Amino acid sequence: MIVEQMMKTNVFTLQPSHSIKDAITLMQENKIRHLPITNEIGSVVGIVTDRDIKEAIPSYLMEDQNQDIYETKIKEIMTKNPIIGHPLDFVEEIATTFYDQQIGCLPIVSGGKLVGIVTETDLLYKYIELTGAHQPGSQIEVRVPNRPGTLFEVSKVFHDHKSNVLSVLVYPDLVNNENKILVFRVKTMNPLGIIEDIRKEGFDVLWPNIPGMTN
């Protein structure tokens, strides 16, 4: 999946000459936490987050409330030249950028202009969608040998049971690198027959660990 398929294109922005008060108002009205800052031709020149604003304004617990601070220009507190993404980047690539750079949003730029934004919440929801966790079903974890054709062998059991597979994830086996862990999300609330047949094929079902069912 590429970024273009998941980014939000209705992006709220401000310019460097706007004030902290403008940013607070825009964030509160639209329930957002990140504001790309653009120049007059739509190029991204900075980013302001709710954390930047909290650090800039005095605590409401302080007696000396300097109201002038709310008129401070955004350019004084924004992160200049922020990390950006492109609509054709792969989602996995920008997820790595979020993790490595410890950022909460990524402005998406094409042709030098802002065309969208991706936040960490967007990434998390996309993960939920891709794993099928938002749909009713069952999760089955299977330890398999790390060799070609194994996924087909296990998947054939789901085919025989006419059970729809919502997602498949592949993890390394941390105990034995000659194995892999396959995690299936299956559209059934009663996977017992499937589990039995996977075990009959000689595979190790790790989850669900149901009492009375042995490997």
> What separation in angstroms does the CA of 121 have from each of 34, 65, 126?
12, 33, 9
82 CA to centre of own chain:
19
Nearest CA-CA partner of 31 in 6, 54, 12: 12
For residues 68 and 27, membership in a common domain is answered with: yes
For residues 108 and 24, membership in a common domain is answered with: yes
Q: What is the CATH number of the domain that holds 189?
A: 3.30.70.260
Nearest CA-CA partner of 44 in 15, 10, 2: 15
For residues 9 and 69, membership in a common domain is answered with: yes
For residues 111 and 147, membership in a common domain is answered with: no
For residues 185 and 162, membership in a common domain is answered with: yes
In a domain, 213, yes or no: no
For residues 168 and 201, membership in a common domain is answered with: yes
Helix 150-160 and helix 192-200: axis angle, to 10°?
Answer: 140
For residues 94 and 154, membership in a common domain is answered with: no
For residues 111 and 165, membership in a common domain is answered with: no
For residues 110 and 138, membership in a common domain is answered with: no
Q: Which of 84, 106, 128 is the last residue of a domain?
A: 128
Query: pLDDT digit string (tens) for 158-201?
Result: 999 999 999 999 999 998 989 999 999 999 999 999 999 999 99
Report the distance separating Cα 203 and Cα 181, nearest Å: 11
Domain extent at residue 112: 3-128
* pLDDT at residue 13, rounded to an integer: 97
For residues 73 and 51, membership in a common domain is answered with: yes
Answer yes or no: is pLDDT of 82 > 60: yes
For 3-50, the DSSP string reads GGGT-B-----B-TTSBHHHHHHHHHHHT-SEEEEE-TTS-EEEEEEH
Number of domains observed in the structure of the chain:
2
For residues 12 and 79, membership in a common domain is answered with: yes
Q: How many residues are there in the chain?
A: 215
Q: What is the CATH number of the domain that holds 81?
A: 3.10.580.10
In sequence order, what E strands does the chain have?
Answer: 34-38, 44-49, 79-80, 105-110, 113-119, 138-145, 165-172, 179-186, 204-207
For residues 9 and 79, membership in a common domain is answered with: yes
Nearest CA-CA partner of 114 in 45, 186, 54: 45
Backbone angles phi, psi at 105, to 5 degrees: -155, 160
In a domain, 119, yes or no: yes
Report the distance separating Cα 139 and Cα 158, nearest Å: 13
Q: Which of 92, 108, 128 is the last residue of a domain?
A: 128
Query: pLDDT digit string (tens) for 43-60?
Result: 999 999 999 999 988 766
* pLDDT at residue 33, rounded to an integer: 95
In a domain, 211, yes or no: no
Bridge partners (DSSP) of residue 142 are 182, 205
- Return mean pLDDT, the chain: 91
| Ramachandran assignment for 112, one of left (phi > 0), alpha (psi -120 to 50 degrees), beta (any other) | left
In a domain, 215, yes or no: no
In a domain, 195, yes or no: yes
Query: pLDDT digit string (tens) for 120-130?
Result: 999 999 888 88
Report the distance separating Cα 111 and Cα 70, nearest Å: 34
In a domain, 94, yes or no: yes
Q: Write down the pTM of the prediction.
A: 0.77
Q: Which of 128, 151, 175 is the last residue of a domain?
A: 128
Nearest CA-CA partner of 20 in 30, 35, 32: 35
In a domain, 68, yes or no: yes
